[in-house]
Chains A and B, each alone.
Chain A
C-alpha cells in the first residue's frame, strides 16, 4: 500500500506523485525507446500507427472525455491536416512548417465548426459535426486542383531538418517525440484554469456558467485544440500511408475515432493511448485469428465490424470506464490485497437524466 504524505505545496504541481510513479514511467520511456531495436520492421510500422492514433486519441479525449462535447466528424479535421501537408510538401515547405500549418488550418476549421456548436448540445452537436464531416469529404472529392480528387495524392518522405525519414524506425522516433511533447502539453493544459474550465463544462454547463466560465469561448478553444491535434495527426498519417484519397476520411473513420475514446476510458490520458492501441491492434488480431477459424467464417468481410461492434457494446454495458477503468480496478485489487471489495467502483444507481428542456 502506498501512502502519500503532503508536506509541500510543490507536491501538487509535480508531474509525478512519488518515486514509484517516476520509476515506472521511466521504465516505460526506456522500453519505448528500445522497442524498435527488438521488433521487426512491420511491427514498428504498426507502432507508428498506434502513436499517430494516440495523438488523435488525445485530441478526441480533450473534446469528448474532458469537455463533454461530441464530434462525429473528426475525420474532416484529419483530412484537412493530411491535405494541407500534401499540398505544402509538394510546394517545398519544410516539414516543421507544413506540420504546424496542418495543425493551424485544422484548428481554424475546428473554430468554424465550434462556433455554431456553441448553440448546440448533445445529439444536435453530433449531427452538426457529422454533417460537417460529410461536406468536407465531398469537398475533398470534388476539389481536384488541390486534393487530386478520387485519384488521390502521393506524398514524399519527410525531410526533418535535413534528416530524411525514410524508414519506420526513424518515423517511430519522430512520432514518439511528438506524442511526448503533446502529452506533456495536455497534462499541463488540464492542470491549468483552462483545463479545469473544460471539466466544469462537462460536468454541468449551468454551474460552470454561474462560476463565470465563458461557455462559448471555452467550447471553441476545446474544439480548436482537438481539431489542431487531429490535423497534425492527419499530416503524419498522410506521410505514413504515403498516399491519401477521400475515402480514408469517411464517417466510419470519425466513428472509429469516437469509439477509441469510449473503449480506452473516458476522461483519462491513459484511455487515449489504450484506445489507440485497441483500434490498431484489433484488426491485426482478427487477421491473426482467421488462421484458426473455419474458413467459412474467416473469409467473411463482416467479421471485423461484428467483433468491433460487440466489443464496443460489451465495454459500454459492462465496463463503462473503458480499458483504463479495468486497469485501475486490477491495480487497486493488488495494491489493496486482500481488502478489495466488489462494490468499490460500482456505478451509483442513476435515474433517467433528461437533457430535454423543461
Chain B
C-alpha cells in the first residue's frame, strides 16, 4: 500500500510538470493553431533565469520566481512578434518547423552563455531535503510543493480566464478568431499575450522541475513528454492537458516500477499511440467533423 502511494505521489508530481508544459502547448495551440516545439526550451530558459536570480544575484526564491516568469513572459511575446507573426497563415507544419528552429537556437545559445554553459545547476529552494511521511510513504517536500503549486497555478489561471477582461478575450479569440475580431478584440495582440502567458507557465514548470532533474541546456527534451500529455487530454482542452499530464506521469511512475527496465522512458509514447489509434480526440477533445 505504501509503495502504491509512493508511486502515485511521485507520478503525480512529475505529471504536474508535464501538465504545465502541456498547458503551455494547449494555450498556444488553441489561440494560434501553432504547435510550439520550443515549449520545453522555454521551460529550460526559465529555469536558467531562476537559477541566475538565486545563485548569481543572490535573490530569495520567491523573488526569483517572479523575476524569471516576468522575463520569460516578455521573451515569449518577443518570439511571437519577431519570428512567428511573419509566418502566420502558412501551412501548419511550416510554423512547427519555425518553432523547432527556435528550439535549436535557444539550446545552442544557452550553452554558449558564460556562466550557464553545458553544466547542470540547482536552484536553491526553501523546501530542499525535507521528507514527509504520509501513510507509510516517504515523499519529499519538494515533490509535494510541485503538486501544491501546480494546483495553485491552475486555480489562478481558471480565475484569470473566467473573470478578467483579457482572459475572456483570449477565450473568445481561441474559439473563433474571426468572430472575436469582429467584436473588436485585437486578435494579433492577444496572440502575443498568449505566447507570453505560455512562456510564463513553462517557466513555472521549469522552476518546479528543477529539484527533480536540475537545470541544464538539454532540459527541454523533457518537454517532449508533454506532447503525449496534451494528446491524451485532447489537444485543444485546458483541463484535458492537466489530466493528460497526470495520466502520463502516473503511467510512467508505475511502468518504471512494475515493467522491465526501459519501459519507463517509452511508456508515455506507447500510451499516446494507443490513444491516437483508439480515441484520437483524446479524453476531453471535441468531436467535430469537417464540413467542406
CB distance from B277 to the nearest CB of A (A): 5
Contact in complex: B227, A259 (CB < 8 Å): no
Number of interface residues of A (CB under 8 A): 51
Contacts of B273 in A (CB 8 A): 116, 128, 131-132, 135
> Known: A126-B96, A128-B273, A132-B273. Contact between A310 and B105, CB under 8 A?
yes
1/0 per residue, CB under 8 A from A, across B153-195: the answer is 0000000000000000000000001000000000000000000
Contacts of A306 in B (CB 8 A): 104-105, 108-109, 112
In the assembly, what is the distance between CA of A18 and CA of B93, in Å? 36
Q: Is residue B246 within 8 Å, beta carbon to beta carbon, of the partner chain?
A: no
A-B CB contacts (within 8 Å), total count = 151
Give residues 306-346 of A contacting B (CB, 8 Å).
306-310, 312-313, 316-317, 320
In the assembly, what is the distance between CA of A334 and CA of B181, in Å? 44
In the assembly, what is the distance between CA of A356 and CA of B175, in Å? 11
Contact in complex: B104, A312 (CB < 8 Å): yes
In the assembly, what is the distance between CA of A310 and CA of B108, in Å? 10
Contact in complex: B266, A138 (CB < 8 Å): yes
In the assembly, what is the distance between CA of A307 and CA of B105, in Å? 7
Q: Out of A122, A128, A262, name the residue touching B97 (CB < 8 Å).
A: A262
Contact in complex: A123, B92 (CB < 8 Å): yes
> Known: A301-B118, A356-B33. Contact between A350 and B90, CB under 8 A?
yes
In the assembly, what is the distance between CA of A123 and CA of B89, in Å? 16
Q: Out of B97, B217, B289, name the residue touching A316 (CB < 8 Å).
A: B97
Q: Is residue A141 within 8 Å, beta carbon to beta carbon, of the partner chain?
A: yes
Q: Is residue A120 within 8 Å, beta carbon to beta carbon, of the partner chain?
A: yes
In the assembly, what is the distance between CA of A300 and CA of B107, in Å? 12
Contact in complex: B104, A309 (CB < 8 Å): yes
Contacts of A25 in B (CB 8 A): none
Q: Is residue A16 within 8 Å, beta carbon to beta carbon, of the partner chain?
A: no
Contact in complex: B111, A300 (CB < 8 Å): yes
> Known: A312-B100, A355-B33. Contact between A134 and B89, CB under 8 A?
no
Q: Is residue A13 within 8 Å, beta carbon to beta carbon, of the partner chain?
A: no
Q: Is residue B110 within 8 Å, beta carbon to beta carbon, of the partner chain?
A: yes
In the assembly, what is the distance between CA of A303 and CA of B111, in Å? 9
In the assembly, what is the distance between CA of A262 and CA of B118, in Å? 29
Q: Is residue A30 within 8 Å, beta carbon to beta carbon, of the partner chain?
A: no
Q: Is residue B130 within 8 Å, beta carbon to beta carbon, of the partner chain?
A: no
Q: Is residue A228 within 8 Å, beta carbon to beta carbon, of the partner chain?
A: no
10 A/B residue pairs, CB under 8 Å, sorted by A: A122-B92, A123-B35, A123-B92, A124-B231, A259-B101, A301-B111, A305-B105, A310-B101, A316-B94, A356-B33
Residues of chain A whose beta carbon lies under 8 Å from any beta carbon of chain B: 64, 70, 116, 119-120, 122-124, 126-128, 130-132, 134-135, 138, 141-142, 206, 251, 255, 258-259, 262, 297, 300-310, 312-313, 316-317, 320, 350-358
Q: A309-B103, A309-B105 are in contact. List 8 more A-B contacts (CB 8 A).
A: A70-B93, A131-B272, A259-B100, A262-B97, A301-B118, A302-B109, A352-B88, A354-B33
